[in-house]
Amino acid sequence: MRTFNGKQYKEKAPHDFGELREVIKILRSDEGCEWDRAQTLETMKKCLTDETQEVLEAIDNDDHENLCEELGDVLLQVIMQADIAEENGWFSFDDVVQMLSEKLIRRHPHVFGDLKADTPEESLAIWKMVKAQEKAAKAEREAAKAAENK
């Protein structure tokens, strides 16, 4: 058994999210797996599509055991693609977590703000309203940027 950073990783031992991230970083390291290290965002597109389809099939089949495994495979895709982005200096997994947290808080003003929603339909309508506002603001920023570059 090999040791990485003074630690041995064993299949049947308890694992947490931090250790999962370590395992993926090891796989992409110089001492890791050639296949994992060779992956790019582009080469992983089909993997993400396939794994997502397998999640949907597990849900359709009411197969909770397989769903657990397939959700893990989708999580692997997310973490690995974020690691690839970080290796390229674009953003980190922590940036993904930050952006998602901000979006969830922003799109739930009926939970984290002053708006009120009493039904799932009202909650969804608020989500869609905030998303539309975000889209309009983004289009405005892009138009201003394009005008600046002329």
pLDDT at position 3 is 82
Instruction: Note the pLDDT of residue 80.
Output: 97
Q: What is the DSSP string of 5-30?
A: TTEE--TTS---HHHHHHHHHHHHST
Helix (H, G, I), strand (E, B) or coil at 107: coil
Residue 5's pLDDT is 83
Over its length of 150 residues, how does the chain's per-residue pLDDT go in tens digits?
A: 778 888 999 999 999 999 999 999 999 999 999 999 999 999 999 999 999 999 999 999 999 999 999 999 999 999 999 999 999 999 999 999 999 999 999 999 999 999 999 999 999 999 999 999 999 999 999 999 999 998
pTM for the predicted model, two decimal places: 0.86
Distance CA(88)–CA(96), nearest Å, equals 15
